[in-house]
Amino acid sequence: MTGSPAASRSSTDARASARRAWRRAGRRGAGRGRGFSLLEVLVAFVVLALVGTSLFRLFGGALANVSASEDYSRALLVAESVLAEVSGTQPLREGSQSGTADDGRISWNAAVTPYAAPQGNADLDRAAEAMPLRLLKIAVEATFNGPDGKPRTLTLATLRLAQKDTL
């Protein structure tokens, strides 16, 4: 026999009391981890509200940009079509035209004027007068309201040759 019954009983009692203490500590710790405190819940709601507000602002700005882009694209299409129509008209004559498109949301002005070089040269101007052709500038301005309600203007221009006698 290695030990007396009293010694084995005391080691068994020690193990049992250690198990009980461990279970009590585990229950206390488990009780604390089962839920969130009121402060933790409030902090989570504040963080969620801040993130939600930022996302709503971001999406709202993106929608405004899409609307502005759509208006700009429509004005560009109107200006391109008017420019193509005016420059394709034969014979090409000096003058101006105006109109509206998209139920009056886009107004346009087209002007056909003689082209003047930015840095004129007297010798080139005399040579141009002697030629049977003349260079004309065709400019189209499309005006539309931006997302802020202020009018925006888009201008397209091109150059075309025309006979002098048709002017």
Mean pLDDT, 10 residues at a time, the chain of 167 residues? 56 76 62 76 94 92 85 92 89 88 88 83 77 88 88 92 71
> So what's the pLDDT on residue 60?
87
> So what's the pLDDT on residue 167?
46
23 falls within a domain: no
CATH of the domain at 117: 3.30.1300.30
8 falls within a domain: no
Phi and psi of 110, rounded to 5°?
Answer: -120, 135
> So what's the pLDDT on residue 121?
75
26 falls within a domain: no
19 falls within a domain: no
Does residue 91 have a cis bond before it (omega within 30 degrees)?
yes
160 falls within a domain: yes
Q: Model pTM?
A: 0.61
162/165 Cα distance (integer angstroms):
9
The structure tokens listed for 93 are: 């004559």
The structure tokens listed for 33 are: 């981890």
Which domain, by its residues, includes 100? 58-166
> So what's the pLDDT on residue 83?
92
> So what's the pLDDT on residue 23?
72
118 falls within a domain: yes
> So what's the pLDDT on residue 55?
92
> So what's the pLDDT on residue 94?
87
65 falls within a domain: yes
10 falls within a domain: no
Cα 35 off chain centre by: 43
DSSP 121: -
Number of domains the chain is built from? 1
112/66 Cα distance (integer angstroms):
33
